[in-house]
Structure 1
Amino acid sequence: MSPVVVLVGPPGAGKTTVARRIATRLGLTFRDTDLDVEELTGTSVQDIFVEHGEQHFRALEEQAVATALAEHDGVLALGGGAVLSDASRALLREHRVVFLDTGMAAAVARVGLNGNRPLLLGNVRSQMKGLMDHRRPLYAEVARHTVLTDDLDAAGVVDEVLRLIEQDRA
């Protein structure tokens, strides 16, 4: 069993929104590893960060990614930091991964001052730049395809990802 597509990218790229819409269009189930962690722990990602720290969350996330990749046959969205794990990146190399890339201006505009993103508290633009500088090569490492989302609405991103899936199947 394997997901039809796995979406990775930074906060604000639209992974969850796009994954839900792709799943609907293909008549498949949707899964998000951040939601899996929240369901497992009974608390929000933000609260896990505050109460237990990032390292604890990353361990939970790594297990959620491994489980979802092994069990899920629909559309999978990963949390923005899932690619930080060497083990997760190794597993992702065996799957159809699409990197939803976004430029700084679009990402900051999309996440705004969202308090539900613990790694972006404070100066959002500065935090996002540091995060993207570090993670962009990791997203690119695991991705079979990249879709730049800056000038696309969610429907446009969905259409492009579906085109790439069909291209792979041909």
Structure 2
Amino acid sequence: MAPRAVLIGPPGSGKSTVAKALARLWGVPRRDTDTDIEKRAGKPIPDIFVEDGEARFREIEREAVDDALRTHDGVLALGGGAILAPETQGLLERYVLDGGAVVFLDVSLAAAAPRVGLNASRPLLVGNPRAQWVALMDARRPIYERLATVQVLTDKTSPTDVAARIDAAVKERA
């Protein structure tokens, strides 16, 4: 069992929303590892960061991604930073070698900013969200691009249209 597609990308790219649209299009379940993390920890992600620290959050995240890649057969959305862990990169690389589709949902700062806003539930964007987002993307973009088998820009595009583009790209790869 493996996901039909795994969505990766920065905060504000639309991973959770597109996962819903793509799962609906394909008639499969969707899963979001951020939700899995909160269930495992028994508390919201911001509380994990404050009470347990980012290292503990990343540990739970690696476990959640590993579990989801082994047990979920629908659309899987990963948290924006999940790809930072070398273990997770290895899992995604193996998933791709086995024929899986890793979809990088790309987005510009201009499009991501209103989506992300000053949301306190995004602990790594506290302070100056725009500057933090740019710094995150500078560090993460090369990893997103390396892991992706499909890349879709989500700027000015509805989740339904993004899902249709992913569907076409995945079918083309098959």
- Normalising by structure 1, we get a TM-score of 0.96
> Partner residue of 2:44?
44
Matched, 1:62 2:67: no
Determine the C-alpha separation between the residues in 1 that align with 2:4 and 2:56.
29
Give 1:168 deviation, angstroms: 2.0
> Partner residue of 1:87?
87
> Partner residue of 1:141?
146
Residues 20-169 of structure 1 aligned to structure 2 (within 5 Å): 20-93=20-93, 94=95, 95-169=100-174
For 1:3, the aligned partner's letter is P
For 1:148, the aligned partner's letter is L
Give 1:151 deviation, angstroms: 2.6
Determine the C-alpha separation between the residues in 1 that align with 2:130 and 2:160.
26
Determine the C-alpha separation between the residues in 2 that align with 1:108 and 1:135.
17
Determine the C-alpha separation between the residues in 2 that align with 1:119 and 1:165.
31
- Range moving further from structure 2, 156-165 or 81-90: 156-165
SS in 2 for 1:156: helix
Task: Indicate the percent of aligned positions where both proteins have the same amino acid.
Answer: 50
Give 1:108 deviation, angstroms: 1.3
Determine the C-alpha separation between the residues in 2 that align with 1:54 and 1:109.
25
Determine the C-alpha separation between the residues in 2 that align with 1:123 and 1:82.
22
Give 1:103 deviation, angstroms: 1.0
Give 1:21 deviation, angstroms: 1.3
Give 1:41 deviation, angstroms: 1.4
Give 1:86 deviation, angstroms: 0.4
Q: Could you list the runs of 5+ residues in structure 1 that have no partner in the other structure?
A: none
Determine the C-alpha separation between the residues in 1 that align with 2:149 and 2:170.
10
Determine the C-alpha separation between the residues in 2 that align with 1:36 and 1:20.
16
- Normalising by structure 2, we get a TM-score of 0.94
Q: Contact 2:29–2:74 at 8 Å: present in 1 too? A: yes
For 1:104, the aligned partner's letter is L
Determine the C-alpha separation between the residues in 1 that align with 2:70 and 2:119.
32
Q: CA RMSD in A?
A: 0.9
Determine the C-alpha separation between the residues in 2 that align with 1:162 and 1:73.
16
Determine the C-alpha separation between the residues in 2 that align with 1:39 and 1:165.
30
Q: Could you list the runs of 5+ residues in structure 2 that have no partner in the other structure?
A: none
Residue deviations 1:20-57, cap 9 Å, x none? 11111111111011100111111111110111111110
Q: Contact 2:150–2:170 at 8 Å: present in 1 too? A: no
